[in-house]
Amino acid sequence: MNELRSGYTTGTCATAAAKGALKSLLLKQPVNEISIHLPKGREVKFPLIDCEVTNSHARCGVRKDAGDDPDATNGMVIYAEVKLHRRKRINILGGDGVGTVMKPGLQIPVGDSAINPVPRRMIKKELECVLDTYDCHRGASVTISVPGGDKIAEKTFNPKLGIEGGISIIGTTGIVKPYSVPAIKKSLELFLEQAKAMENDFVLLVPGNIGEKAAHKRYILHESQIVHMNNYVGHMVRKAAQIFDKIVILGHPAKLLKILLGCYNTHSQKSVSPLPFIRTLIKKMPWSVTLEENLNTIPTVDGIVSHIPREHQLAFFNPLATQIERKLTQYSRSNPSIAVVLVDMQGMSVGIGENTEQWEREKCLKLR
pLDDT (average), residues 4-22? 94
User: What is the per-residue pLDDT across 93-104, written as a single tens digit (0 to 9) for each?
Assistant: 999 999 999 988
Query: Is the pLDDT assigned to residue 338 strictly greater than 90?
Result: yes
| DSSP three-state, residue 183 | helix
Where helices occur in 198-232 by DSSP H, the ranges are 209-218
Q: Which residue would you say has higher pLDDT here, 317 or 106?
A: 317
- Verify that 68 and 119 share a domain, yes or no: yes
pLDDT in tens, 187-199: 899 999 999 999 9
pLDDT at 3 over 70: no
pLDDT band at 1 (very low <50, low <70, confident <90, very high): very low
Within-domain flag for 47: yes
Instruction: Note whether 146 and 23 are same-domain residues.
Output: yes
159 and 201 co-located in one domain: no
**Helix/strand/coil for 246:** strand
Together in a domain, 248 and 119: no
Of 12-26, 114-128, 252-266, 277-291, the range with the lowest mean pLDDT is 277-291
User: Is residue 32 domain-shared with residue 60, that is, in the same domain?
Assistant: yes
Strand pairing class (77-85; 139-145): antiparallel
Kindly state whether residues 168 and 210 are assigned to the same domain.
no
With respect to residue 37, please indicate whether it lies within any of the assigned structural domains: yes
pLDDT at 292: 64
Query: Treating both helix axes as pointing N-terminal to C-terminal, what angle do 10-27 and 117-133 enclose, rounded to 10 degrees?
Result: 20
- Residue 145's closest CA among 76, 96, 74, 112? 96
For residues 326 and 199, give the distance between their C-alpha atoms in angstroms, rounded to a whole number: 26
In a domain, 83, yes or no: yes
At which of 147, 176, 205 does a domain end? 176
List pLDDT tens digits, range 266-280.
Answer: 988 889 999 999 999
Are residues 328 and 218 part of one domain?
Answer: yes
- From 149, 176, 203, give the residue that closes a domain: 176
Whether 293 is in a domain gets the answer yes
Q: Are 30 and 110 in the same domain?
A: yes
Residue 366 forms part of a structural domain = no
Which whole-number Å values give the CA distances from 14 to 80, 93, 205, 317, in the listed order?
7, 11, 34, 52
| Nearest-angstrom CA–CA distance, 223 and 244 | 17
2: burial class by Cβ within 10 Å (0-12, 13-18, 19+)?
exposed
**Of 115-119, 144-148, 214-218, 296-300, the least confident:** 296-300
Q: What is the mean pLDDT of residues 125-138?
A: 95
The C-alpha atoms of residue 12 and residue 335 are separated, in whole angstroms, by 40
- The verdict on residue 2 lying in a domain is no
The reply to whether 155 and 213 lie within a common domain is no
114 and 214 part of one domain:
no
pLDDT at residue number 209 = 85
Report the residue count for the chain: 368
Instruction: Read off the pLDDT of residues 39-59 as tens digits, 9 standing for 90 and up.
Output: 988 999 999 999 999 999 999
Q: How confident is the model at residue 38 (pLDDT cuts 50, 70, 90)?
A: very high
Number of domains comprising the chain? 2
Local confidence band at 295 (pLDDT 50, 70, 90 cut-offs): confident
State the helix-helix crossing angle for 354-361 and 310-332, rounded to 10 degrees: 100
Per-residue pLDDT band for 18 (boundaries 50, 70, 90) equals: very high
pLDDT at 293: 65
* Residue 225 to residue 218: CA distance in whole angstroms: 14
Same domain, 145 and 264: no
Q: What is the mean pLDDT of residues 289-313?
A: 81
Stretch 2-24: mean pLDDT: 91
Coil/strand/helix, residue 291: coil
Question: Average pLDDT, stretch 96-117?
Answer: 92
From 176, 206, 233, give the residue that closes a domain. Answer: 176
- Give the domain extent around 58: 7-176
- The C-alpha atoms of residue 339 and residue 204 are separated, in whole angstroms, by 9
DSSP state string for 7-51: EE-HHHHHHHHHHHHHHHHHHTS--SEEEEE-TTS-EEEEE-EEE
Binning pLDDT at 50, 70 and 90, where does residue 161 land? confident
Query: How many of the other CB atoms lie within 10 Å of CB of 209?
Result: 9
User: 88: domain CATH number?
Assistant: 3.30.2110.10
| Residue 276 in domain | yes
Do 234 and 311 lie in one domain? The reply is yes
Q: What is the percent of the chain where pLDDT is above 70? A: 98
From the list 215, 205, 202, the residue with the least C-alpha distance to 246 is 202
Instruction: Tell whether 318 is covered by a domain.
Output: yes
Encode pLDDT of 73-85 as tens digits.
999 999 999 999 9
